[in-house]
């Protein structure tokens, strides 16, 4: 069913370098149908060695090679290494999920993934901020607490690093940093003594959070 006699299928790789909103399915370099797919698989987490596959669901040209996987690549959880073979039958069955995943990774590939110690610092800062907000106990603090706990739960979860990073960034930009987030919460305190104490500690923790996340915003 699959043909691996035309190297032009490798041109699917070029889409990674383009600015398309959704890179896959890509236009097949051989038959011209928008049915081109690609998948990488890192053999071991944190290692650069892996496999790559490119195939077209329309003309059934395909190729598979071993080599260096792009730095931004994260294996798709549902794809089991045992089922991978040189021919892409298994990948073809999962192509919709794979395309979705490749498009998502492509969107965040310019980010470096957070280091473990940055994750731990972020977790510690969000817990400290939560304590401060709870201690203060005014305004929308229960909403903010829920959001902060969401960050901690995310960091503790088994989601892969890419999913975590995207959640942390989304929450920070939409809920924490924005209007109705911690900045508003602090600004409207009336008791100047509490305000100053709270802001000093809170400001310090927010600075740490900012220091970690600013590279992704
Ligand atoms: Zn084709």
Ligand 1 centroid to residue 42 C-alpha, Å: 25
64: CA distance to ligand 1 center in Å? 15
Q: Using alpha carbons only, how large is the chain's radius of gyration in Å?
A: 22
Beta-carbon contacts of 182 under 8 Å, excluding residues fewer than 6 positions away, are: 129, 133, 144, 176, 202, 206
With cut-offs at 50, 70 and 90, classify the pLDDT of residue 20: low
pLDDT at 169: 85
* Dist. CA 36 → ligand 1 center (Å): 7
Is 214 a residue whose pLDDT tops 70? yes
26 alpha carbon – ligand 1 mean position (Å): 10
Q: Are 70 and 100 spatial neighbours (Cβ–Cβ below 8 Å)?
A: no
Side by side, the strands of the sheet bearing 62-68 are: 36-42, 49-56, 62-68
Residue with tokens 């607490």: 145
pLDDT reported for residue 4:
92
Whether residue 121 is preceded by a cis peptide bond, meaning omega within 30 degrees of 0, is no
Q: 50 CA to middle of ligand 1, Å?
A: 24
- pLDDT > 90? residue 93: yes
pLDDT of residue 147 exceeding 80, the answer is yes
- Residue 32 Cα to ligand 1 midpoint, Å, equals 6
Q: How far is the CA of 139 from the centre of ligand 1 (A)?
A: 59
Cα angle 110, 39, 37 (rounded to 5 degrees) comes to 100
Ligand 1: centre distance to CA 30 (Å)? 5
**pLDDT (tens digit, 9 = 90+) per residue, 107-119?**
776 666 778 889 9
- Asked if pLDDT for residue 187 goes beyond 60, the answer is no
Ligand 1 centroid to Cα of residue 34, in Å, is: 8
75 pLDDT more than 70: yes
What six digits make up the tokens of 43?
Answer: 């053999």
């Amino acid at each position: 069913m699959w043909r691996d006699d035309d190297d032009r299928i490798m041109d699917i790789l070029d889409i990674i370098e383009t600015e398309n909103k959704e890179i896959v399915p890509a236009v097949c370099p051989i038959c011209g149908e928008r049915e081109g797919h690609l998948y990488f698989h890192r053999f071991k987490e944190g290692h650069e060695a892996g496999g790559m596959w490119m195939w077209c669901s329309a003309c059934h040209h395909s190729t598979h090679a071993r080599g260096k996987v792009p730095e931004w690549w994260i294996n798709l959880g549902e794809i089991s290494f045992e089922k991978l073979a040189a021919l892409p039958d298994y990948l073809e069955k999962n192509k919709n999920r794979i395309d979705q995943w490749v498009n998502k990774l492509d969107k965040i590939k310019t980010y470096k993934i957070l280091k473990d110690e940055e994750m731990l610092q972020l977790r510690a800062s969000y817990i400290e901020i939560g304590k401060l907000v709870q201690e203060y106990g005014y305004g929308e603090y229960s909403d903010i607490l829920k959001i902060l706990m969401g960050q901690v739960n995310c960091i503790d979860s088994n989601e892969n690093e890419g999913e975590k990073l995207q959640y942390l960034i989304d929450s920070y930009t939409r809920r924490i940093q924005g209007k109705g987030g911690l900045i508003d919460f602090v600004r409207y305190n009336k008791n100047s003594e509490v305000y100053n104490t709270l802001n000093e500690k809170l400001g310090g923790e927010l600075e740490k959070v900012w220091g970690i996340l600013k590279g992704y915003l």
